[in-house]
Structure 1
């Protein structure tokens, strides 16, 4: 079921949001200091492409993650979080779109706090 959901996800906008993550990663990788931010953005872009069957654990954030998350919010996170939240609201208008809207809300939170977040596959 998650494979079917992921295919529909890509068609209904997941590809566009993943493209946003990949562009943010490329912009970050322009400088040496930004490479860790870019690598994180690429990891999140992969999650956005295939979200069903995965969850994100925010319990392992430390001081280093806090500092990097602050920089991330200032430069990229707020734009991606707003975009995700708006898309989540639009998808939740219909009953069929609610599972997809919930994914967008998950990404809105993830867009603000990507560092220290761990992506976990949900066991079947």
Structure 2
């Protein structure tokens, strides 16, 4: 019940705008063929940003039990490029906002979410969003 309440509050207080921004970025990446790996990563971050309470970002190879192109050497290269060009300042933004929200008791759950977004914002390629209730089922395929 608390997850639902916190997720609704998160969406109302800026989570929807953040998710839409990530999906817009994913669309821009997808338009350029070379940006498709980052488009998928940005879409996953958007899913995670929209409904973060009760979900976790995990490596696809850990959750699914098999490697793919995004979890191997090319995924590592994609993450290095991402962190150098965009990941570090996006993660820094989440850290700063999280610290600001952590000042108040009411802001603590939302600060937690911003801190929880840091790892996937730094290294998104090869990650997927899963429900804590079913750690192997991607968030986008839940019923």
Please say whether Structure 1 and Structure 2 have the same fold, judged by a TM-score greater than 0.5.
Answer: yes
In the TM superposition, residue 121 of structure 1 has moved relative to its aligned partner by 0.8
Extract unaligned runs of 5+ from structure 2.
63-70, 135-143
**Cα deviation code 1:35-87 (max 9, x no counterpart):** 22112211210110000111122474432221111121123222321221111
- Give me the CA root mean square deviation: 2.0
Identify which of 102, 106, 125 aligns with 1:96. 106
In structure 1, the partner of 2:68 is none
In structure 2, the partner of 1:35 is 36
Structure index of larger Rg: 2
Matched length: 124
In structure 2, the partner of 1:86 is 96
In the TM superposition, residue 26 of structure 1 has moved relative to its aligned partner by 2.5
Are the equivalent residues in 1 in contact too, given 2:47–2:129 (CA < 8 A)? no
Matches of 1:17 and 1:87, distance apart in 2 = 13
Q: What TM-score, normalized by structure 1, do the two folds share?
A: 0.86
Are the equivalent residues in 2 in contact too, given 1:24–1:76 (CA < 8 A)? no
* Residue correspondence of structure 1 range 1-124 to structure 2 within 5 A: 1-58=2-59, 60=62, 61-123=71-133
Extract unaligned runs of 5+ from structure 1.
none
Matches of 1:79 and 1:26, distance apart in 2 = 20
Matches of 2:31 and 2:84, distance apart in 1 = 17
Moved more, 50-59 or 96-105: 50-59
